[in-house]
Structure formats: C-alpha cells, structure tokens
Amino acid sequence: MFTDIPAGARPAGMGGAFSAVAEDANVMFWNPAGLVRVQRRELLAAHTQYFQNFRQEYLAFCLPWSEQQSLGFNAFFSYSDPSEKLSAAGESAGTFTAYDLYAGAAYSYALNRRYALGATLKGIGQIIDAYRAWTLAADFGFLASEVLPNLQMALVIKNAGAPLTFLEQRHPLNWSAAAGCAYALWNKRLLLSLDLEKPFFREMNFKLGAEGAVIEDVLFLRAGYGYFPSGRGA
C-alpha cells in the first residue's frame, strides 16, 4: 500500500524512524501528536524520484494555534509513467495510468510540558485507469518529551479506516501500531532514533535512523536502516 512509502526527505533519510522526532512539519505524516512541538509556522514541499520513474509529491503546513494547540494540513500524491494495458487475449490495448493520493487535517494538544496527543483525519484515494476508490482513515499519536534528558518516546496508530474497494474487491488499509524513541547526543548535534512497528496484517518490523549536524542548522548527514521480514506490501 502506498501509505507505507516514507513522506519527506528528512524522515526518508533516517530510514523512516521518525515517530518520536518532533521538530518540523514532517511530523504530521509520522505522529500527529508532535505537531504541537513545532513552535512556528512551517510550509514543507518535497519531490522524490524512485526507480522506474515512480514519483512522489508531498506538501505539509503546520499552524501553531496556541501554546497547547496546533493545526496542520498535508497532502501526498504519487504517480508513474503510463503502463501498457493488455486485453483478455493478451494483446496490447493502449496504456493506463495509476495515481495514489491523500489529503489530511491534523490536530495536536499538549496535556502539559511533557505529554501531547494528536490525531489526523485523512481521505485516501487510488485511481487506476478508469477505476477509482476512496475511503477515510485516521492516525492517532502520543508523544512524551524529556522522559529522560534528551529522550523522547512515542506511540502511534496509523491508517485506521475502511478498506478501499475496487470492482467489489476490498483492499484493507495498512493499519499499524508503532512505538518509537529518539535520543539527542553531544549538545543535540547527533540524533538517534528507533521505531518498532506492527502492521495488523504483517510481521513486526523495525527502523533505525541517525542524523548528525556537520554545520549546525545548515548541513546534516543522515543514515537509516529498515528491516521488513514480510515486505512493505503491495
């Protein structure tokens, strides 16, 4: 499912281990609870080019409402070059295109200086040739800051919603539950992160990420690793 594809250059560079990293507008895709920790308005736009001309566009905007509340909006669009369409006899019947998209609105509330909750309501759609399918889903997040000095922890449930239905066939969303942590070292010049995720219909996976500041607030090096024993799914 396309909702497994990492959104945002920074989280992708850290292997998708981002549920406990709450510092910028990327957090909406990974853990809506972290939205309230972003202290300024931010607009983020990202373009990602994958193999076989598969492309992804991502847009996110966060709007701090008060010290305790924050709003956010994001949208995701992926597509590829036209593919050949075959008839029932195996003959060429032209080409078709496929698109995946969603748009979401997020809300985050700080219970106090340490704990925050958040939720995202999103519409998800797929278009394959002349066929379309749409559904609604939600993400729910919890973020605990300063559990220990420079340590954050997170809990997230993603893609809770009804299946997409194509030609009367139901395709379940990739519901998942995840726990993550992020730890800052060396005066916050090095960030280490870990996510453990259990998709409801697949085996547990884990993701590791690291980010180091080469030039503070200017240049960063990032690395990530993900282990998916049963794959990311279709």
Residue 113 domain flag: yes
Give per-residue pLDDT as tens, 182-195.
999 988 899 999 99
Give 46-52's long-range contacts (Cβ < 8 A, gap of 24+).
46/7, 46/8, 46/9, 48/9, 48/12, 52/80, 52/81
Q: What is the CATH number of the domain that holds 146?
A: 2.40.160.60
Question: At residue 47, does pLDDT exceed 50?
Answer: yes
**Which of residues 22 and 42 earns the better pLDDT score?**
42
With beta carbons less than 8 A apart as the criterion, state whether 25 and 34 touch: no
Mean pLDDT on 113-137: 92
Domain-embedded: residue 199: no
Q: Does any domain span residue 38?
A: yes
pLDDT of res. 166: 78
Q: Is residue 57 part of a domain?
A: yes
In this predicted structure, the answer to whether residue 181 has a pLDDT above a threshold of 90 is yes
In a domain, 52, yes or no: yes
119 vs 167, more confident = 119
Q: Which of 232, 226, 212, 158 is nearest to 10 (CA)?
A: 212
Residue 189 belongs to some domain of the structure: no
Range of the domain at 113: 2-81+95-172
Is position 145 within any domain?
yes
Please state the domain count of the chain.
1
Handedness of CA 104, 230, 225, 56 (dihedral sign): negative
Helix H or strand E segment including 29 = helix 27-30
Per-residue pLDDT tens over the stretch 4-19: 778 888 998 999 999 9
